[in-house]
Structure 1
């Protein structure tokens, strides 16, 4: 499974359900539902995808599971891969203009401090400042 695609899809879905994409997210969610129903509703599709995307409030594990299902299907179905890619590009713009979307999810392993945000200025440091030897 393409880990980069998985991270992008997970971040996109997370930003929509947490409201980070604002009003544009409602349209993106509607288009995701339509795309999933179209793709998974045919050929005895995966019920899990239809159930997860139909949920009003999704838990993190649901978002990850849905993302895995979508990325796996994209790897098997070039038409769906194009649709998913286009969907990601469509929602990318609104997410950027409404502010930052920071996600640490999936199999991420954090071993130190994490700063998430936007438009930092000035120095950022962790720990004790070093002494000037002079």
Structure 2
């Protein structure tokens, strides 16, 4: 499973808390609550994060970010649940999704060899946007 980055999850939590007065924000915040309630009784960073986000204020963002990062490293199940929530609500919260690159164990190997006569070549991985040649 691709885990959404700690930055994305933190920004989504903060955006949902800040937009709870709007219909979209309230819906995202209410969807997050069952995920947090399930984690509240866990020991360690998942329980701490659940407790810290019961009443999130802008000044609490550094602590939320720290706890999310720890959760991603130590509790893959809860990290997956937070990732699912963030992916589902990122659009309505206007949060860009980035992924935790530490969780990506794939490799790309691009080779041009022999008598290849290449005029235009694009090699790489995870391209986004328009590519003109």
Task: Give the shorter-chain TM-score range.
Answer: 0.5 to 0.7
Higher relative contact order (CA 8 A, sep 6+): 2
Q: Distance in 1 between the 2:62 and 2:18 partners?
A: 14
Match of 1:27 in 2: 27
Secondary structure of the corresponding residue to residue 19 of structure 2: coil
CA RMSD of aligned residues (A): 2.8
2:29 maps to 1:17:
no
Runs of 5+ in structure 2 lacking a partner?
Answer: 97-133
Secondary structure of the corresponding residue to residue 54 of structure 1: coil
Match of 1:118 in 2: none
Match of 1:93 in 2: 91
Secondary structure of the corresponding residue to residue 91 of structure 1: helix
1:113-124 equivalent positions in 2, closer than 5 A:
none
Secondary structure of the corresponding residue to residue 5 of structure 2: helix
Match of 1:60 in 2: 58
Deviation at 1:88, TM superposition (A): 0.8
**What is the aligned residue count?**
92
Q: Distance in 1 between the 2:15 and 2:82 partners?
A: 16
Residue 49 to residue 20, structure 1, CA distance change in 2 (3 Å): closer
Runs of 4+ in 1 over 3 A off after TM superposition: 44-48
Deviation at 1:38, TM superposition (A): 0.8
Deviation at 1:21, TM superposition (A): 9.0
Q: Distance in 2 between the 1:71 and 1:32 partners?
A: 17
Residue 20 to residue 38, structure 1, CA distance change in 2 (3 Å): closer
Runs of 5+ in structure 1 lacking a partner?
Answer: 103-134
Residue 48 to residue 82, structure 1, CA distance change in 2 (3 Å): closer
